[in-house]
Structure 1
């Protein structure tokens, strides 16, 4: 159950100090297995929990399999955040009501679409925030290509019009779409407004040409991502209360996000890369909390 409702942060209702939790995306677990056989659900959740992740991000499971999902999440002590792809406030309301039995920590939204702009976009985002408050369910808009947050310019404008707008920060889309491989003062200034409104972080490193590259692909790019994530954590900590949780989701997708070689195999291990990102997240949190 969600504790005292605050649209700006996830809260688990406990008296624990504000904290980072590193979660794993179930989309990132697709096509992971041995000898071409994908791991079953329980094996995936067992692996996630065994590696020290404390929650997952996934689509709401179908009714037929929902009892198994809930049993396994409870068995492995994993929290649950859900994906939503709303075109309207009604879509979000329906999503929340349909998943009422899933004990969701929050809802992550990829809001459609990239061609909804200006006042129409502001009205839609404001309506989604109203639904979130009405259901006492935290809802965060993911910064994503091809969605309402297509670019930094319009996204920063939304923050000026909507004081309660909060984001799931995925910088990889802006780096790819804007080729932000080197510091650009205008881009950094706009991104700062998004960092100030971040309530969840999705971790993936992109270049100016590829949406997903290995953590060790470029030390310079890794350093920039670490700086962005750490700064978002610092902003999140301002005013954070007992029970507040900052989910940091490792979200390394299968192909075409992952790069395959001529033999049709991914060039690196997404699972091993997720474990590296987990360590990066914890290092960023240490810097954010001691400086």
Structure 2
């Protein structure tokens, strides 16, 4: 009887371990501001522990071919960026948005992250871009996530909630650093609003912002601990929810940007932080928070 009990216990532990082991967060490195060749960039991303890269697709064939070779060589996954061209008349902008998104789908990325619409477009016109993204997402069975971003339909927390009230489907990428600036607040006192947002987030752009800027100079610095901890709190909630919804897999892009998005010293314009180091740090901080080795 004792042996049977021990065997059952071992089986139970094995089952729990197997379930936990299936959970996986895929981390992507941005190529924002990158000056390296595709081969060197992908090599560095792989060596730093990233599972893939998150990029705006180059237009020329030579660059595209080099990108394909590097992705294959270093066994990296691909997220693609997309966006509404706000300078075009609405009809042309909608056409361009749809045609370019069709092109991106041919690459079969893990997901497409969209800078959708404009804060100067009407509610109804922004919905047209959202509808195109959702329709092509279904057609190709590739997620299109609409990023919370300044200058877009989702430039603020309350504006985004208005769209969530009306849009039939609105899967989001959360980059909460933009809202920190827009509202001059870490938004810690809006629990109910965060709960609604979190329910609709399927991808994260992980950058730490604060009340006066969308990016701290160094997320490891002690003066930013309060902001970092709040970002980690929200991200953890999203990831734990997302792992249940996405069969144990969730995606995160580390997205600290280069100078001058990264604060710089006057006159010399030397960056006050290290972009690559910040992106690796935020990836590892999330792994530590979630108990990932």
By the TM > 0.5 criterion, same fold?
yes
- 4+ long deviations beyond 4 Å: none
Match of 2:63 among 44, 65, 86: 65
Deviations 1:11-61 (A, max 9, x none): xxxxx934211110011x52xxxxxxx432211111110111010110112
Deviations 1:122-143 (A, max 9, x none): 3432332122212322100000
Residue 33 of structure 1: aligned partner? none
Distance 2:175 2:226 in 1: 18
Q: Number of aligned residue pairs: give it.
A: 260
Aligned-residue Cα RMSD (Å) equals 2.1
Distance 2:250 2:245 in 1: 13
Distance 1:116 1:133 in 2: 25
State the SS of the aligned residue for 2:260.
Answer: coil
More helix, by proportion: 2
Q: Tell me the CA shift for residue 162 of structure 1.
A: 2.5
Residue 210 of structure 2: aligned partner? 207
Taking the TM superposition and a 5 Å limit, the aligned residue runs for 1:22-41 are: 22-27=27-32, 29-30=33-34, 38-41=35-38
Runs of 5+ consecutive residues of structure 2 not aligned to the other structure:
1-20, 86-92
Residue 229 of structure 2: aligned partner? 223
| More relative contact order, 1 or 2 (CA 8 Å, 6+ apart) | 1
Deviations 1:62-99 (A, max 9, x none): 22321111011010111111110135554343223323
Match of 1:181 among 163, 183, 186: 186
Q: TM-score, normalised by structure 2?
A: 0.82
Q: 1:173 to 1:136 in 2, by over 3 A?
A: same
Q: Does 1:246 align with 2:234?
A: no
Bigger Rg, which one: 2
Q: Does 1:75 align with 2:69?
A: no
Q: TM-score, normalised by structure 1?
A: 0.82
